[in-house]
Structures are given as structure tokens and as C-alpha cells.
Amino acid sequence: MQHLMGESWHALEVEPIIELFESDANDGLGPLSIKHREEFFGKNALKKKTQESKFKKFFMQFHNALIYILLVASLVTALLQEWVDSGVIFAVVIINVIIGYIQEVKAQEAIDSLKEMMTTEAVVIRDGMKIKISSVDLVPGDIVLLESGSKVPADIRLISAKDLKVDESMLTGESLPVLKKLSTFSQDVTINDRKNMTYSGTYVTYGRAKGIIVATAGQTELGKIAHLLENTTSMETPLTKKISSFSKILLYIILALAAFTFVVGILRENSAVETFMASVALAVGAIPEGLPAAVTITLAIGVSRMAKKNAIIRKLPVVETLGSVTTICSDKTGTLTQNKMSVTNIYCSDRLYELSGEGYEPKGEIFSNNEKVESVSGTLGELLEAGYLCNESYLVNNEGKYSINGDPTEGALIVSALKCGCEEHRLNSNYPRVDILPFESDRQYMATLNTDVQNGQNILFLKGSIERTLNICSYEAINGELKELDKAKIVKIAEEYASQGLRVLAIAKKVTEQDKIEDLLLKDGFVFMGLEAMMDPPRSEAIEAVKESLGAGIKIIMITGDHALTAFSISKMMSIVTSDAKVEDSVLTGSELFAMTDSELVEKVSHIRVFARVEPEQKLRIVDALQARGEIVAMTGDGVNDAPALKQADIGIAMGLCGTEVAKEAADMILSDDNFSSIIHAVREGRNVFDNLLKYIVWTLPTSIGEGLVILFAIIFGITLPILPVQILWINMSTAVLLGIMLVLEPREEHIMQRSPRNPKDPLLGNSMIIQMFIVGFYMLVSSYVMFNMALADGHNIDYARTIIVNLFAFIELFYLFSCKELQKSVFKTNIFNNYFLLLGALAMVLAQIVFTHTEMMNLMFKSEPLDMQTWAEVLVISFGVLFVVELKRVLEKVFKRAKV
């Protein structure tokens, strides 16, 4: 098949191309042919960018200011023949590098795994069947169906097209969608003018088409320039950038302080070696080296948890923004509701009907005035047949379990027809389809042109919204006769259905001599057949999620193309509006929105909870209006026209099941189950991610402050160092691994969704947290010097006294960790047993300190000594005191707040 590659497909007629690929325009490829092509051509995927090797990634861990400082310290101590100190420092460097490497690899794996979840699917015809498969499984010769919102999965020569427009900007730079044609073109025309081709990576913005794949993977036009488009998911977010910048500034300040202490030590005529080691101790103790890694790990854990709850993050900054969301604008159908349509009511020929049955099983009965209708015929039968024929979906019976392949609304129409005795085979054979006008949101209707074989005439069937359908109808069919259309009567009946939460579709038909659907045919002259009203029940989990959102200070706005009364009724069921709310105060329609100025909309949007009969393009205005009021907006969408609103929203959320590829590409987050409750899971997790980052920062920075002050104090005042550089290294390494990482695994706080959204403009650390960190830092400073001097005064040697301080610092960090589990709550009211990782880490930390203190090897390496039981008791009591210090600070804060009130 090598000869098939690189042809000028746009210059050839389509029939020879189909023959070249040994395919069939109607039936597609067969199983054996597909297998051979998969083996020959491989997967339809571009080669991944060569990632940084693990070897390089490991050695990049040495590219760190703290590591450089430690390596210099190790070298200097080696030159001074302090072999134990040099070996310990170098060992700590290696351990830090290994830990850093493992953390980075694990975090990157978590982010990379998201890419595998974001697969593109394509609709193909294989072996005569229309099926949906992953685009990576496509092969040359496959017959592909494209529709509005599709991402073109390969280079395709068009076989047929209906008003097809394709956005090729990413390939050609052309900003406007290109209208495609089927005619052949000169061999030497550029890509821009090859109107009978669609290319991999471009997007269908309008219409539909059928085509044959002529190139996949690296042979596509996109594949030839793929190296220019390579991108990776970055671990950077605004927050990580802020923290990275903060860490760099802090590093420079600490290095300046270290240099200052070295100069002071030399001026005081201290030993140059001891002064140098003291300066290293200051740098090692004060630099919060674990902070950037903790941030990355917390984000990675967050996105992994969200993915397990069906919220796939495409852009990492969203994780931070989720905690600040104040308004969620959600589609109704399929997101807030189950998207399982069932026709329950019918209006036809001046009569009202009810239809029984559940789900998609074609079993049920039809009633009128509480009497069973034994036989369906006349205009009612024609109405049901029209609903069946003006349809692109089909019913699937899998061993008695019924489902719909296609749109659930169309599925409901099929099932209602079958319940009432319509025969699929008879309808399909007696009314073959000639042409189709697919549904587009701007039209609000769909039409099919079918041939009535028995009467030898073409009939145009149409279904759509009440407003659009009635506008093109001239008559109403009543008991087989054409009567003057009473629009007011029909609108009143539709509104009655809508007030019950039913979605209402109008159905009409028109006899024509035309064999193609043209705009002129759709202007007028239709006969109104009747209404079919269907129920789409709210999701029970979405109802609970709405209540939780409102409790969290998040407003929910429903946006739908349905009738205002339908939307309002569903919004009441879901508590989006209160039970005593009025339609005129809570609902805004698309036509009303169109008539408003931007300033009027900004004013009105504050109390609107339902937008009905809204066109996708109007979603952008809604987002703009909300953002103008200072709202942080999350917006859901699934259609191609939703993309601008998804991009403009602070968080764009696309539907994974029914969403178009255009919407997914524009979104920041994808719901793999299309369920509103998954958004709330993500918001909950987003808040938890920020909480855990804040907890880690509030826990780790006091340690840096305390250790830094202890060293700085000693050098400036010429006092013996109460702790050595290698001992500080031990504390930092052991606490970061055994305590800090466990803190970022902290589960959500119980009342996390009972507080208002965080203002993104607020500083990361408020005054209260900054005060707390300095209080803890000073507590470490004072308690360490008191215990150090007491030990020396009691006759203990310097190593014994320093061992006390190492354990004091380690246990202050351990006890303070529990105080950071909930930053606004008393530690004595906190559930300390809800994080088993943290408890295990605390136990491991205790064991590590026992080993550090009471084993000969550690005594030799770190110049530590065993402590007696009385000293251990004193260390634990003073360390435990940090909890009371923090508690006192929190109590005083509450007292001052009450005094102000």
C-alpha cells in the first residue's frame, strides 16, 4: 500500500480514490482489511515528543541552590579532613536528590495520565455498521462521518457534504471557517484552496459530511509539521509560580544573611571554619527547600482525586480557581437532568393524550380522558410516524435491555411511535430518506425529506421548538382535515406542559415536489401535526449537589434552550430557585436577553437563576455580565458554539460523553460522566488542595524561621551553636519526608463546603497566619536556648545539649503538625485520627528520633548522645507546649474579634 501515500487526493475524483483504498462508500472496510491496515500503517497517533530521560531528570535534582551549598560544605569539610561530617552531608545530598526525583516522577506521571483520559472519538462506517471508535484506531480507507463540533481525526477526501464549514486556522492561519465543496481542484493548489479535503486536527463548525481517510498519523499534513505543535502539560500554575518566586527571593535573603553572619563571625575573630559551617547551618535551616516539591505533589494528588470523581483537568491553574468559584452556569439536559427522555403527553387534533411506560422499552399504552386508546390511526398516527422519521437515532435491543444510539430526545420519539403500534420495517421501506437538514442550535429545528413510496410524493418532516415551528405553519391537521392554525391555543397547551417540567417539541410536515431541502422550502406552508411532551427527570445526586453548592456560597444558574416554564419548573425541583419564586423575577429568555444592553444585563443578572431559550452565542454575554459583577464563573457547554463562552469563563467545563471536540478543546475541565455533581466534587477537591497547600506552608515556614533565628542569634552574639549543620539536615530531611508529605494527604475538612468561596485577590497568607508562624518560630528560638543552657548548667557536655535541641525541634514540628490539620479550629477539637498516613508518619518520626539518639552509628555520624528519661520528659513537655501557645493565640484572636463587633 506504499503507493497510496503522498498522492494529490484533492485533484482526483472520489470514486477512483475509494477503489484505490479497496473501500466502499456505503459499507466501509471489513474486519480483515482493517486488521491488515493496522499492521501496515500502525496507530493513527503522532509520535510523542521525546521526554527528558530519567537519567537526566535524576541529575537535574542537583541543580538546586541548597544542593550546591551542601556540596560546597561537604567539599570544605573533606578538605579539613572532617570525614564523618563530609560523608554525612554528602549522604544527605544523595538522599534529598533521590526523594526529589521520586516525587517529581510520581507527580509528572499523575499529570501525564490525564492525557490518556482525553481521547478523541470518531464515527465510522465499518462492515455496513455506523460505530464510534477511538480516533487512534482509524486506518486509511475508513469511511468517516463528520458533523458540527467534530474534530477531524485524519486527512479526509470528502465523498458527500451538507453545508460543511471547517475551522482550519491551526493549519492555514485562516481565521474564518472554510465552506467545503466536492469538486476536484488543480494539483498545485495550496492547502487553503483544497476545498474537497478536511485535514487532521481541524474542527467542523457547521454542517456534516462523509469522507474517506487518505492519510493518518505522521502522513497527515498535521503530522508533517507536528514538531512545531508539540506541547506538554506543564506543572506550573499561577500559585506554583508565586511560591517559586517567593522561594527564590527568600533564598537570596537567606544567602545574604548567611554571608552577613560569616563576616560578623570573622570580625569577632571566630574560627573561619566554624563560622563557615555556622553560615551553612543558617542557609540549610532557613531555606524551605521542601516547599516547591510539596506544592507540585499536592496539585498532582488533587488532579488524580478529581479524575477518579469524573472531573478531568486539562489545565492545572483550574485546580486553584475551583476553590474561588462563586457562580456555576450549568446546562440543564444531561447535566442537571438524567438525559433519559420519555414522552408522557401528546397533543393532536384538539385532544390531549397520556402515554405510559418507562425508559426506552417500547411497551406502554396511550390514554385520552382516562380511557385507553385501543387503535392509533389518522392524524395521531401520522404525528407519531413523523416523529419516528424525522430522526437520526435508533433503538438498540441488547438481550431485552433497550438503549438509544443517538440523541435521547429523538430516542423518546422513536419509543413513543413504537409503543403506539408503528412498525419500523414498514416506515423505513415506505418512507426512504432523500435528504436531511440536521439540527443546529441557531435554527432550533431539524428536517428530513422522505419519499412516500405508495403515493409517489416527497414529504418534508420537521420537528423543533414551538416558536420556530408555528412561525412556518399555515394550517393544523385535525382528524384528517386542514384547519386554520390557532397559535394562541397551541402555545397555551405547550405552556401547560412546560409548567410541569416537560420538554415540548412541535412536529409539522409539508408535501413538496423538490428532492432536496433548500432554504426556500422552510419559509412557510407547513401543516402543524401536534406536540410531543417528554419528561427528563432531574438527577437525584445533582439535587443534593445543588443544595451543597448553595450552602458553600456558590450560586447556580441554569442555562437551557428549553421553554422558560419547563426550565423554571425543573429549577424549582432542584432548589435552584426558591419554592415561592416567580417566573418573571427568576427567568430571562433569549429574546429578552437579545433586547438588553450590556449594562442592563449586568444589573439584571444578579438575581436571575434561569436563562431559557438561550442560543449558545448568548452564553458569552452571560459570562461577561457575571464577571463584570466580580463573579468567578464556571460555565458548562457541549456544542461548537459554546466554545467562546467556555474560553471566557474562569473555568470552562465540557461534557465528556455528549460534548463536541471543539468544546473539549476550549475547556479547562472535562466531565467524563456529564454529571453536575462531578463539578461539585471538583470544587470540593479544589478547596482541599488549597487548604493543604496553606497548611503545609504554615507548618514548614516556622521551622525555617526558628532554625534560622537560632543560628543567626548564636553568631551575632558570639554564642556556641546549639545545633550543628548536619543535625539541621537530619531534622529537615526526616520531618519533610515523614511529616510534611503526610500533611498534603490530609482529607477534606468536614465543613469545607459550608464556607464562602476564597477571594483569589486575597494574599496567600493572611495576617493571622503570618503572626502564628512567627510566634512558633520565636517559641523554637526561646525554648531551644533555655534548654540548651540548662543542659550545660546541669553539667552535660555540648553533644548531649545539642541532642536535646535536635529532639526539641523534631517534636515541636510533630506536635505543631496536628495544630495545622485545621487552621481555624482548636487542635483539641480536631479529629487527629482521620489521616492514617499522618499518624504513621508521626510514629515513624518518633522511631527515627529514638534511632538518632540511641544508636552508636547515628551518634557517630551526627554527634548525638543518648538522653536519660528525665530529659526526654522535659523535651516532650516543652515540645507539647507549642500547642498551647498556638491555642492561646487563636483564643485571643476570637476575643479581639468579639470586642470589635
- Which residues neighbour 321 within 8 Å (Cβ) at sequence distance 6 or greater? 632, 650, 651, 686, 760
What is the sign, positive or negative, of the torsion defined by CA atoms of 706, 709, 715, 718?
A: negative
DSSP state of 337: B
Residues 6 or more apart from 858 whose CB is under 8 A from it? 851, 852, 864
What is the rounded CA–CA span in Å between residue 148 and residue 167?
11
331 is catalytic: yes
Out of 142, 331, 668, 691, which one is annotated catalytic?
A: 331
What's the Cα-to-Cα distance from 726 to each of 70, 285, 533, 723, 803, rounded to whole Å? 10, 10, 77, 9, 12
The three cell numbers of residue 533 are 411532551
In 3D space, the residue among 730, 785, 859, 698 whose CA is nearest the CA of residue 285 turns out to be 730
Q: Read out DSSP for 782-813? A: HHHHHHHHHHHHTT--HHHHHHHHHHHHHHHH
Greatest Cα pair distance in the chain: 116
* DSSP string computed for 29-89: B-HHHHHHHHHHH--S-PPPPPPPPHHHHHHHTT-SHHHHHHHHHHHHHHHTT-HHHHHHH
Distance between CA atoms of residues 171 and 222, nearest Å: 7
- Block residue for cell numbers 426506552: 360
Bridge partners (DSSP) of residue 555 are: 327
Three cell numbers at 771? 503572626
Q: Which residues pair with 879 in a beta bridge?
A: none
Which cell is 216 given? Answer: 493518518
DSSP 452-511: ETTTTEEEEEEEE-HHHHHHTEEEEEETTEEEE--HHHHHHHHHHHHHTTEEEEEEEEEE
Distance, in Å, from the CA atom of 130 to the CA atom of 121, rounded to the nearest integer, reads: 13
**Cell triple for residue 616?**
449558545
Q: Are 627 and 611 in contact (CB under 8 A)?
A: no
DSSP at 562: S
Say if residues 177 and 164 touch (Cβ distance below 8 Å).
no
Residues with active-site annotation: 331
